């Protein structure tokens, strides 16, 4: 078997970079350092991702990554559903105090991204003592998390195709190449 071409090595490098965060523009610019424009990098990344060879590389790398961390699509979807149904009530006791972390159900703990802790003290020096401690959980933005997951899995592809059709029809109508937008009063027979 002969040496791989620079072109092939760059395709592999692009695919490896792309699977990190699914940002084609960033991945393209990381591999092709001379490209300065995001528009150029984005268009070139889209062309690369549309090729069968690069798509197979990406699929292979994603499958290998999934196998390494033992994550399945079903598990990702179950986690997404759990996050979508997190009820803040699960985090607190009946008196409004935050439950100890061990008592918070796992699905609710997954939604905690941090705690804001504020403490109040009284006195000074050796007489200084803690008067109160308040902890406020910061929760994951479940809507954006779900949206990213669904986009990643292509669940909006039909919507995106429909939007592209509407935009194309609008552009044709504006440029005079169409008889009007479908369903509009300006549509000509």
Of residues 164 and 100, more confidently modeled: 100
107 pLDDT tier (thresholds 50, 70, 90): confident
Mean pLDDT, rounded, for 137-161 = 71
**Segment among 47-51, 64-68, 108-112, 174-178 with least mean pLDDT:** 174-178
Mean pLDDT, rounded, for 134-152 = 77
Share of residues in the chain with pLDDT > 90 (%) = 30
Which pairing describes strands 112-122 and 129-139: parallel, antiparallel, or unpaired? antiparallel
> What pLDDT is recorded for position 56?
92
Mean pLDDT, rounded, for 17-30 = 90
The span from the CA of 50 to the CA of 24, in Å, is 11
> What pLDDT is recorded for position 158?
61
Long-range pairs for 143-149: beta carbons < 8 A, 24 or more residues apart: 145/80, 145/83, 146/80, 146/83, 146/84, 149/76, 149/77, 149/80
């Amino acid at each position: 078997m002969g040496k791989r071409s620079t072109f092939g090595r760059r395709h592999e490098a692009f695919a490896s970079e792309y699977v990190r965060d699914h940002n084609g523009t960033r991945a393209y610019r990381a591999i092709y350092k001379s490209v300065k424009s995001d528009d150029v990098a984005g268009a070139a990344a889209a062309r690369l991702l549309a090729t069968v060879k690069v798509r197979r590389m990406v699929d292979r790398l994603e499958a290998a990554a999934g196998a390494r961390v033992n994550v399945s699509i079903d598990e990702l979807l179950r986690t997404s559903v759990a996050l979508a149904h997190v009820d803040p009530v699960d985090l607190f006791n009946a008196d409004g105090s935050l439950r100890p972390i061990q008592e918070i159900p796992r699905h609710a703990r997954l939604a905690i991204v941090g705690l804001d802790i504020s403490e109040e003290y009284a006195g000074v020096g050796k007489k200084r003592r803690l008067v109160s401690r308040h902890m406020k959980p910061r929760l994951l933005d479940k809507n954006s998390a779900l949206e990213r997951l669904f986009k990643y899995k292509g669940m909006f592809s039909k919507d995106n195709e429909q939007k592209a059709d509407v935009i194309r029809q609008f552009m044709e109508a504006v440029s005079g190449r169409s008889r009007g937008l479908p369903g509009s009063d300006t549509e000509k027979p």
